[in-house]
Structure 1
């Protein structure tokens, strides 16, 4: 008989490099309906040294990647142990870890999330469920996005679920199937330019708001082939480095103008997805705090009611859903949707490591 209650830790590190998100979550299922409560939660920021290592991971050779993988696993084990001790957590069923994406080239059959080694279970002395993307890529899928199963099971009252993190991604139901895909870069680009001004990010989008739209750059971004591709489709940091930044850099503009134009680009691309549809949209992720970006999204989504939830859901929704992915893996239930990733079938993904 399957359990109906689970006490887990969900862990996530995104491409925006804010840090490691940890959430202590209690899940329960009653008559097929899932509910959750996010208890203690925290984002542990990366040191400057770790930010640089993770940014440069894409350029490492295989041996250097293995070294990085091991040291990153040790880092998140230490972070998790501190979180458990600090919050006096007891009877944790398991830890559900996404790890940190270093390589994501599904078209080449490659995706790598570091931090998903068996040592994580040994060092935390807890069962660990992790590495959710690799199996999907092996089955011909994009390995992303994985969050939509959580949108479907936990936030079904919304017509659309939009996440604004390193990249924007959206999920919704169409003809009884969950559809989801990445839309465009967000904080991977916005933070890149904010950092040139000595800031970690553009607070509230104030710098972007002070700039002006450059029509030439705006049109060039909107005409990129990725935006006309059919879903399923996903983006990795490679797209930012090889495609977006070279386009941005060839336009000799002030940083406020670059930020303003890219913010408008983000909002426009979101608007194209929901055009002509009436309904509601849940907005989460760090970008939900960017008031200028939200203002522009609302201008491009006039028939959609945009809802921004409580702070814990904004900041820890992905950690929450990776917790759910772990629970579904434990129950041997589907946690990855072929309609979303393009894999040959729905499947139950994730590795399980037990402490000695």
Structure 2
């Protein structure tokens, strides 16, 4: 078992250092154009978001971007609360808004909602975000600057959590930061393999050319990653990462452990459908590393009990530190990091097990893998 430990930890360390180097290689984008030119159709699906919509709508009202260059399309996915009424009151403000009913055609409500909105979108650049997000003031301005400077077909941009100073929310924040760091690192090493639909932009014409979500709309989640894979396969150089603090969209952690397990199960359920063998091997390596940590914590000798755990938390810092610096995470990082690192291997194995053998619940509906 000791040789297997050495083998797995060595390759895991190589992976994390590789991603950390990639993170540094992605330059922070600072070019700001003087004239905004890009017209955007911003698509926001929602379902029972009565608590979050006022925050989102307030941030929309405060966006620093010409109103004549942007429209907002909000798609109601069978809400049973007062979400639509809240939006209708806000529409009196001077933005271009439309509220649509989701047209369900597949097993994926969110993909259907985005497709419904794209079918009526006026502009070629589509931007997606979520109803539980806060949009930064210069969000669209930074995306426009990036488009004008780099001429991409898809733009992947950063997402952060607004987390309270308690273990549940800090655990989610750290878990999410690992994904954000991995996303940026992959771009830096010329192997982009992750994105987040809460902050994603792409050309409508290319969405149509690539047949949108066709081929994966039987999978409930993955409105971002499977489309991203299509864009990468078609033209990897046309997909860029916007590493800018002005572009960071903020969202909120879930409020219970049950909701967190269901959310992460939903995310994990799509991994087996990734088209890239290399991405699957990366996922397998991370899974094996977490398994080894759990095995030694539960069954290891007193001499070896904490060695894999300590090695992993030291290795992870290579990617965590530049990531939290970029996202300006100011909470008591090291205190939460130790506790979260102890729980995470158990949590990740539970999520993988649940995603393989059980259905999951999300927003009042039950889905299978």
- TM above 0.5, one fold? no
State the TM-score bracket (shorter-chain normalisation): under 0.3
Q: TM-score, normalised by structure 1?
A: 0.25
More strand by share: 1
Q: Radius of gyration: which is bigger? A: 2
